[in-house]
Structure formats: C-alpha cells, structure tokens
Structure 1
Amino acid sequence: MSHVPSLGDRRALSRRGLFRAGGGLTAAAAGLLVGAGPAYAEVPDSVRFDLGGAGGNPVWKKSLHANWVMQSFAYDSVHQHIYFAQTNSQNSDPDHVGDLWITKTDTTGRQLGSMALHNFGHGVSIAVEPYNGSVYLWTEWMSSGSGFGTKVGRFAFQDGAVLEKTSGAIQDRTPSIGDAMVNPQPSIDPGTDRLLVRYKTGADQPRIVVFKLSDARAGRLSSSYRLAERALPSRGAWGSDNPFQGFAAYGRYVYLLEGRANGPSYLSVIDLNGVGQSTVIDRAQTTAGQSLPGREPQGMAIWTHSSGPRLAFGFHSNTDGVREASVFYKSQFV
C-alpha cells in the first residue's frame, strides 16, 4: 500500500490536480465557497483515490435482513460495522411508498441487527455517525409520492425498532441555503468530519453542499454555515441510461457511482474546488463484480480501516430470486 499522508498535514501534500478540469480558479473567486466568517480560498488539499487496480472485496453476495434491493450503505468505522439501506422494488402499496429496511452487519456482511423505516424514501444514500455512545443514521426522509425523500433526517439506530416518518425521534437536518432542495441525500466524510448533501434544484441540476458535522449535528445548516457548495455534472440523455447510484467524499474529492443493472458501471471524481460542472476523472469504468447475476451498482462510502482509508462501492445482485449485496473498495492513491 502506498503511503497515506494525514489530512491534517496539508502543507506536505501535493498541489497536483489543482488546475485540472477547470479548477484553476479558486472557489472563493468563483463564488462557490462560503464560510461563517471570511471566505476561504479553497477546500484544503488532500490525497485522491486511485480508481485503477484490483482493490478488495470484503462482502460477497450476502443476503440482508429482507429480500429487498440494497440501495446504499455506510460504515461505522469506530465499531467496524456496516449499515445497509434496502428498498422494496416491488412495492405497490401507496401506504408504504418509501419504506426502507436498515440492516446492520459486520465488515464481512454477517447480519447483526435491523430496523424498519416507514415512508422515508428510496435509500439512495445513508450516513452513519457514532456519537456519545449511540450510532445515528442520516437518511433521506419524508417520502413523496415518487418514493424519494424530501428532507434529511437524523435518528438513533435501534435494533428491532419500527420508525414512522412522523416520529419525534427524528431530527430534521435538511439544509436551508436558499436553493430548492429536491431529493436531498446525505453522506459523511469521516476523514474531515463533514456532512455533504447532494440535492437537485430542478430536473438534471444536481448540486452538493458541505457543512462541518458538528454544525450539522446541532442543526446549523443555513447559508452562513456552509463550507462549500458547487454544481455537479448534468447527466443528460446518458444519465437516463446510467442512473446515479451513490456518492462519497474524502477530503477535497467527491466520488460518484453511476450505472444500470446488467450494464457497465462508472466511477467519477469531483474536485470541491472545481468550477461549473467540471470533473477530475469522468466516467472511469469499473469491472468489479462483473460476474454477479443482475449486477447493479448501489452505494458508496468511506471505510476508515486500520490500514488506512478505503473508498467502498457496492453492487446488488439477484441469484434465483434471492437478492444479495457485495462491496468492493479502492485503497491506493494517485
């Protein structure tokens, strides 16, 4: 494994990539970076995952709590657990649009617990936050008629619990930055303790906004607290054939997962200091899990492992009607 510089040791990190993909303008100059005080010049530099190489495969064709489709996952790296979000793709009951199962496993996919969420959303992205002796989940919440969430909710995981969308145990943690917040989807960067929310302001107009996790936890999610905000690439007709399937962030870079069932799957890299709809790497195809029956990319997360951080991404598969989850990761850096 290559040497992994500390995110805190920013002066020692390479400046390479700063001027790639239209990123030569500072975020402040482009009006993309806003702080509670004076605007900063840029998101601090960090290492970037190398999307090539074999990587690892710690979870292979594991059945989860319900025979539902795995949509996303996230790591509790403190306790070395995974939390998977699952949706019922065959649901036709309007009273249960947006129902999700959460399955807790160890890092090999062995089941350790589960929790039901009623009328939350599609489960496109999930974040896990170990805090004060509990584990909190961040998910899309308040399902609309389309089955996707309209807000972001934070709540404690409780094995065996059933949580209704109207429960007082759910904290509303939806950003209020002036933009329309269509289908907000949360992710946590454990390397910098930041909350990132991907959302849309309209059809094919995806954006991302970043907050300190401590501010987000306390509900400070207004414009004056955002650390960064920028556009993500529009997906056009290509996106109709290759659905967005998840994202994760580590330091300065955001990673996107796209693809459809039984088709090619793609990873992209976004620089939070970039401008417009620029990318660092556009649609690097991955062949991970290509032998899986009904292979469909589903979910991304950062796994903080004893050997260093890992960029994990998952696939749903279907073996004779049994729905399964597999997870792969990259751990090298460019």
Structure 2
Amino acid sequence: MTLSRRGLLAGTGAILAAGAVGAPASAHPARTTALPATKRFTMSATTNEFFRHKPLWGPTVMQSMAFDTPNNRIFTAQLRSGTEANSGTLTLSRLDFSGTVLGHMYLTGFGHGVSIGAQGVGSTSYLWTETDVDTANGRGRQICRFPWQNGATLTKDSASLTKWKPVANGSVFTPAVDQRYGRLGVRHSLSDGMHINVYSLAAAQAGDYSNVLASFKQPALTPGIDFQGWALYGSYCYFWEGEAYPGEPDETKANSKLWCYDINQGKIVDSFLTLAGKSLTYREAEGMAVYGATDATARLYFGFASGVTGDRRANFFYRNDLV
C-alpha cells in the first residue's frame, strides 16, 4: 500500500469524515448474532498458488480483488498511475484465471480501493466499490454499484452508478460481497474505530439498509502493521494485513497475517502468519476475496503486490480447507 493505513484504517483512532446524505441508512446497532452458522476457512492450511507476478492495466500496486463466481471473472483495483493519491482515481482490471488482463475501467473521484466486491447477475458483472472520495484522506464517503463496462471511465456522478451511505454517521466505507450467502458487508469508520455491518445483498442493491443482519466492531489486529483487505463468507469475516518487505525468509521477519473472526461469537478464532510468496521482490500484502458457490469450490484468496516502482505486479494465493 503506497499510503500508510495506520491510524486511518486500524481498529482504533479512525478518522471521521463528513459525507453526503444517501439512501435509507441504518443507525449503528449493537452486535447481533443472527447469521446461521457456517464452516470457516482454516488459516494455517496449505497455501495454494494461483498465479504469480502478473501485470495489471497500469503499473501501480494492486489494492484489492473480487470474483464474479458465476461468470468466473476476476477484478482488481489500484490507484491510477499519474494521478494524485487522494484524488480517488482508480483503475479496475478484469482478468481471466491465468492472470491475463482482458479489460479495464477508470473510476474518477471514488477512493482508495481497499476492498471491492463483484456480483454476477446473468452474464453481467456488477462491481461494488467505495465512492464520493474525501480528498482529505483519499477514502470514499459512500458505497456504490455499477455494471462492468470495458474501457469506460466513470465519475462519482455517472448515470450508471447507484450509490448509498448505509450508516448515516459513518465514513471511510468499503464493501465486500458474499455471493454464496447473498450478503453485503460494509466496513466503515465511527468515532471509536472501524465497524462492519452485514446486510442482505438483494435488499442493499435495492437501496434498503434498514435491516442490519449483523454488526460488530473490528477487533484489534497487529499494532503498527497496515490493514490490507477483508472478506465475508457465511458467519465469518476475514482480515488481511502486512507491509512491503523484500522477501520474508523466516518467521522472525514475517508480517503478513491472515485473521478469521467469528461474527456470532464476536471474537477472533484463528490467525496465521504466512510466508507465502516469500521470494517475491517487494512483496506487499494486498487484497482479499472469496470465490466459490459451494463449500467444495470455495477458496479464500489473498494477494501480494510485487515488482519494482513503475512495474508493480499482482500475485494470488488461496486457502480452500474448511472446518
């Protein structure tokens, strides 16, 4: 991550920013336990490599990833090369499963791209991102949904964009789509830190955020290590952290860590310090997403940026053991 997320995106000390009034928004309720219990990914399971050192549409660091499972499409987000970091200008790439770029979009005035979501509706891929950038911190003040349009440039006011502010007093919004269970997670900042609300995906895309299925404050992760992504799958939430390091030859120097949070129990139930991709040059943890329509096909992906300045690359690894 080219901008430090310490303080801004950690579990405490997050910045509040003013945002525009959106569609029906929820107040922040107490944590609920309304999600049916599901299996979870094992953080210490065997690491599988998906692809390594692939170029995206542009030479900057990948920030996040998302899968349109029904259509077997991958999408990534990164800050657009040659733009101001806090302008919220993003590049989206569409990739196939070999890591080859098949298309791109530009998003102007959106945010930092810490997390994006993808949703397949028939043959169309809809993307969920932050939008309405606060140029004071480069983060979005709302979330939005729009269809993939290869080669298009969208602004925060484009007609194809639908946007909402799900939590009236929240800021620093990022979405995560749980396609398997039909849910949308919304990570956001409140005065006491980062929180996550879970909604029905169908209700959310219709603009109804009045029914919060679950709500919790993000637990404390590793102090001083940058937050790099999150994902939602069933009754669990996953977090990804780490900082750029020129290879991690042993556990005493490792800082890239996977976390699993049980939403119903309200606590971290698993974590693992990974050495995946330890030979990569630069090796910065970036992006997390889930692929799969069943437990048998489900994979928890986590990414790294690699390469040198001006030629950054994307790397995908995954876990697929559930308990």
* TM-score for the superposition, normalised by structure 2: 0.83
Q: Secondary structure at the match of 1:130?
A: strand
Query: 1 CA distance for matches of 2:228 and 2:201?
Result: 23
Question: Measured at CA, do residues 46 and 120 of structure 1 come closer, stay the same or move farther in structure 2, by a change above 3 Å?
Answer: same
Quote how far apart the aligned CAs of 1:31 are. 4.3
**4+ residue runs over 6 A deviation:** none
Give the secondary-structure state (helix, strand or coil) at the position aligned to 1:280: strand
Q: Name 1:252's counterpart in structure 2.
A: 235
Partners of 2:197 and 2:56 in 1: CA distance: 31
Q: Distance in 2 between matches of 1:202 and 1:159?
A: 38
Describe the shift of the 1:67–1:219 C-alpha distance in structure 2 as closer, same or farther (beyond 3 A). Answer: same
User: In structure 2, how many angstroms separate the alpha carbons of the residues matched to 1:89 and 1:48?
Assistant: 37
Q: Residue type of the partner of 2:115?
A: S
SS at match of 2:159: coil
Q: Is 1:272 aligned to residue 263 of structure 2? A: yes
Q: Do the aligned partners of 2:258 and 2:272 also contact (CA within 8 Å) in 1?
A: yes
CA contact (8 A) 1:69 1:88 kept: no
The structure with the larger Rg is 1
Q: Could you tell me which of 148, 154, 168 is aligned with 2:139? A: 148
Alignment-mate amino acid for residue 70 of structure 1: M
Give the residue type in structure 2 aligned to 1:231: K
Distance apart, 1:321 and its partner CA: 3.8
Aligned partner of 2:97 in structure 1 is 107
Matched, 1:63 2:55: yes
2:124 match: 134
- The percent identity for this pair of structures is 35
Q: How does 1:1-334 map to 2 (within 5 A)?
A: 31-33=30-32, 42-88=34-80, 91-92=83-84, 97-145=87-135, 146-176=137-167, 178=168, 180-202=169-191, 205-222=193-210, 225-235=211-221, 238-239=222-223, 241-262=224-245, 264-275=255-266, 278-281=267-270, 283-304=271-292, 307-319=296-308, 321-334=310-323
| Cα displacement string for residues 278-297 of structure 1 (whole angstroms, at most 9, x for unaligned residues) | 3112x421111111111111
SS in 2 for 1:215: helix
Q: Deviations for 1:224-283, whole angstroms, at most 9, x for unmatched residues?
A: x11111111145xx44x21111111111110100111115101111111133xx3112x4
Q: What is the one-letter code of the residue matched to 2:208?
A: R
Alpha-carbon distance between aligned partners in 1 of 2:218 and 2:170, rounded to the nearest angstrom: 14
Q: CA deviation at 1:77?
A: 1.0
> 1:93: Cα distance to partner?
7.6
State how far apart, in whole Å, the 1-side matches of 2:123 and 2:75 are. 17
Whether the 8 Å CA contact 1:182–1:202 is kept in 2: the answer is no
Residues paired across the two proteins, number: 285
Q: Which amino acid in 2 is paired with 1:119?
A: G
Uncovered stretches (5+) of structure 2, i.e. residues with no partner: 1-28, 246-253
DSSP-derived class of the 1:221 partner: coil
More deviation in 321-330 or 46-55? 46-55
- Structure 1 gap segments, 5+ residues each: 1-29, 34-40
> Is the contact between residue 179 and residue 293 of structure 2 (CA under 8 Å) also seen in structure 1?
no
Aligned CA RMSD, in angstroms, stands at 2.0
1:308 counterpart SS class: coil
- Deviation, 1:89, is 7.2
- Bigger relative contact order (CA 8 A; separation at least 6): 2
Q: Give the TM-score normalised by structure 1.
A: 0.80
Q: Say if 1:233 and 1:93 are closer, same or farther in 2 by CA, change over 3 A.
A: closer
